[in-house]
Amino acid sequence: MTSSNAIAPREAFPDSGPIRVMVVDDSAVIRGLIRQWLDSEPDITVVFTAPNGKAAVSNLISSGAEVVILDIEMPVMDGMAALPLLLQAMPSVKVLMASTLTLRSAEISLTALSKGAADYIPKPQAVREVSGSTNFRREIVNKVKALGEARRRSRSVISARPRTAAPVAENVFGIPVPKTKFELRPVSPIRPRIVAIGSSTGGPQALFKVLSGLPSEFDLPILITQHMPATFTAILADHIRRATGRDCAEVQGGEIVTNGKIFVAKGGHHLVVEKQKDGIAVKLDDGPLENFCRPSVDPMLRSVAAVYGSAALAVILTGMGNDGQKGGEVLIRAGGSMIAQNEASSVVWGMPGAVAQAKLCSAVLDIGELAPAIGRIAAGAKL
């Protein structure tokens, strides 16, 4: 096992061919199922399976795994104990935590994200539910591909970078990523009355960073759609409340939008806003999945555009896919504004990349620059 002051070895495996994955779970049946699913994908290969964290740490370097699917509760060494050792042994490895849909597992998963895990995936509790869950299979395949591809893109910058290259930013893993210029649009001349934030992979960490960095005088209401199941969104809201000291709660439906409050979309429901006689209310919408998600960012942004128009500000944070682009187009046509997280600080630059490349943004910024920018826009100042 790697000692605490050891230097991580150079990674000798090529950044080409199928994405290399390690599956760590104490259930042989689940390990076998996940391996079967992943090996059936031509661009993924499972290079090692382990029944506990100790075996995973011992075999990480020799396996060359780029993505590790790590169960939380295991004998010998559990996932939380293994996580820092895996990241110490191979800093570029992407760790995908797998946890059952319980309050305790949700709490642990969010803690794991704060300690360096790239993402999490909720796992059905019963083995028969795992084997029959097409949603779980699709999600695990998509997340492995997104994380593996993100890792390779980040690492390719190092190998391709000439000695005389211009300075670059560093991403969340300390890997250089070149700065990219985008065609930007002016911020709406109307000061916003609401901020709507969309996020997915890497979102919880980004949300804590942005919300904690808002100016003390900032008091606009904030809507958040983070791709998460119901059990997790209540825990996320509580973590945000504790981390920021701001009033934050999971939406139950019917609450009146008030200044200074943060509303988190409830897992399994879209978050939308609606005008009522006594004000603007947040609602739970059980409409169809969008972008394979519910909650989805697009319905939230469409409703915000309809109610607030040019007095709306949207923020798109790290996440895979392009959720937020179509809703963002509606919001921009209504006169609102949008800013996004840059590639350098994103875990996966799918969602923010989609809106940036669609020319919807007034700014594409590092995670540390987003909170001050939101504060300036809210105050009517220049970016």
* Active-site residue list: 200, 227, 323
3-state secondary structure of 35: helix
Contact 204, 236 (CB under 8 A): yes
Residues in the chain: 383
Record the tokens describing residue 113, joined without a space. 């994200």
Determine the Cα–Cα distance for residues 201 and 120; give it in Å rounded to an integer. Answer: 8
- Percent helix, strand and coil across the chain, each rounded to 5? 40, 20, 40
Tell me which residue of 59, 113, 112, 106 sits closest to 81, measured CA to CA.
Answer: 112
Determine the Cα–Cα distance for residues 336 and 332; give it in Å rounded to an integer. Answer: 5
Contact 330, 299 (CB under 8 A): no
Residue type for position 329: E
Residue 307's contacts (CB-CB under 8 Å, 6 or more residues apart) are: 273, 274, 275, 280
Q: What is the largest CA-CA distance in the chain?
A: 64
Record the tokens describing residue 133, joined without a space. 């869950």
Determine the Cα–Cα distance for residues 200 and 212; give it in Å rounded to an integer. Answer: 18
Contact 296, 324 (CB under 8 A): no
Determine the Cα–Cα distance for residues 118 and 96; give it in Å rounded to an integer. Answer: 6
